[in-house]
Amino acid sequence: MRPYLKYISKQFSRLILLLCALVFINIFIFITSFYKIVKTDYTKSSPLQVFSAVQDDCSISGISNSAQNILNKYNVWAIYLDLDGNVMWNHQAPSDISDKYLINDIAVISKGYLNDYPVFLHTNDDGLLILGYPKDSYFKLQSNYFSIKALRKLPLFLLTLLLLDLAIIILIYLRSKNKFISNIKPIIDGIESLASGKPVNLAENGQLSEVAESVNRASYVINRQNEARVNWISGVSHDIRTPLSLILGYSDKIKNQPLVDDEISKYADIIGQNSIRIKDLVSDLNLFSMLEYNMQPLELSYIRISKLIRSFVANIINEGLDEPYSLSLEIAPSAELLELNCNERLIERALSNLVNNSIRHNPDGCDITIELTTHEGRPQIIVSDNGVGVSKDMAGEQKKPHYFEALDERLDLRHGLGLIIVKQIIEAHGGTVDTPEVSTGYKTILSF
């Protein structure tokens, strides 16, 4: 059975059990609430049972002592009429009971009431025995009788029962909801982790154990695919290094041959430059796969960030910038002593990508500035330039390049990995990357 069908079946079974339990509880409450009334109305104290017990001991001549005791026990009064409607005797009859009744009065009495007293009649050959009960004790019909107390209690009882059932249903719903949420939350978190490329290992227990098992299985398959992808990229990168080194070596040798004319030297230089681009791309692919699939833990250590940036800027300047470009550094006093738990090599790589990005997109030159400031007590690095600014194509570089997406209409959108890797590096350190719009040039804010 599929996991969701099994879960639905469990919930349906629990619903049936809940309904059966509510029926049982309602019956129990009804019996508890009306037991005494029912016992009074339909056992020895009931009008029919009392009538049956005393009718043979009552005649026109009088009432026996045993019959009187029964009437006294259950607070019942009695009168006996002869065939002419005269009261021959009474037992504890109320003061508003008459001594003489006409045939019309008897017709009214036969409907069940005498001066608002519920009464019960029994005809004998010599007269009529009438048993009377206190006012508001019974609701009397010709064919049956009902307890006034029970009738008055019934609406409140039904309302109470309804509220109790609703309370039980709500409590069970809230409990089931909380339990369901506690079971489904790890699965939702697991699915979100899968969506972000992180491995998942959920506990396979509870109501949704089958679903958790499916998520774990999907995580295992995806993780294996990611490992295979990283291994493939690493293998290809390794295999490319040797022929690239040969190409670079021979192109440099050809270019430096004294007898080679300028055109061949130019072609050799182009081969060398593009070989370096391929080498950089392979390096980018390796770094991208490592960060994308979290295959290797970051080696972090606390480093004074101002020292790291000064060293980076000094290396760039010492290696030599082309004449149209300049690189300056500004460090706020509040950020001078700040330390950052980071991978020094990766932070330098992110800064290098941003500087190279400004150089690549401004062939006519620009001024590049690196600022170290603080934001809410944490380091913030700002890399900006006064060049031509960001184009739509350049903005698209923060999306994955087409060779990491479906091979369809994206084939003409070949963006580099520069800004993607910057974003990956900063996010791996718990930071964020922001590229606000500026009037001139391009600005990237790295916040930790």
Tens of pLDDT, residue by residue over 414-433, are: 345 678 888 888 988 889 99
Domain closes at, from 143, 174, 202? 143
Q: What distance in Å separates the CA atoms of residue 92 and residue 54, rounded to the nearest whole number? A: 15
Both tokens of 190, joined, read: 């697991």
235 and 121, same structural domain? no
Q: Is there a domain that residue 116 lies in?
A: yes
Residue 438 phi, psi (nearest 5): -130, 160
Note the pLDDT tens digit of each residue in 285-311. 777 777 766 656 678 899 999 999 999
Q: Is there a domain that residue 420 lies in?
A: yes
Q: Is there a domain that residue 111 lies in?
A: yes
CATH of the domain at 74: 3.30.450
Q: Is there a domain that residue 194 lies in?
A: no
157 and 235, same structural domain? no
Q: Which residues of 262-300 are buried (b: 16+ CB within 10 A; e: fewer)?
A: eeeeeebeebbeebeeebeebebbbbbbbbbbeeeeeee
Q: What distance in Å separates the CA atoms of residue 448 and residue 446, rounded to the nearest whole number? A: 7
Classify strands 366-375 and 325-331 as parallel, antiparallel or unpaired. parallel
Number of domains present in the structure of the chain: 4
432 and 320, same structural domain? yes
Beta strands in 188-334 (DSSP E): 301-304, 325-331
User: Which residue is it, tokens 């070596």?
Assistant: 249
Burial class of residue 423 in the structure, from the number of CB atoms within 10 Å of its CB (0-12 exposed, 13-18 middle, 19+ buried): buried
Q: Is there a domain that residue 210 lies in?
A: no
Give SS3 for 323: coil
The DSSP code sequence of 63-93 is E-HHHHHHHHHTT-EEEEEETTSBEEEEES-
33 and 163, same structural domain? yes
**Confidence at residue 407, expressed as pLDDT on a 0 to 100 scale:** 39
164 and 24, same structural domain? yes
8-state DSSP, 398: G
Classify strands 378-385 and 325-331 as parallel, antiparallel or unpaired. unpaired
How confident is the chain (448 residues) per 10-residue block, as mean pLDDT? 62 79 81 66 74 88 92 92 92 91 85 87 89 84 63 78 85 80 80 77 75 82 75 72 82 80 83 79 72 68 93 88 89 92 89 89 91 92 87 51 43 55 87 88 91
What pTM value is reported for the model? 0.47
255 and 114, same structural domain? no
Q: Is there a domain that residue 337 lies in?
A: yes
Q: What percent of the chain has pLDDT over 70?
A: 83
Q: Is there a domain that residue 196 lies in?
A: no
Domain containing residue 30: 3-42+152-185
Distance (Å) of CA 112 to CA 39, 93, 108, 121:
22, 16, 8, 8
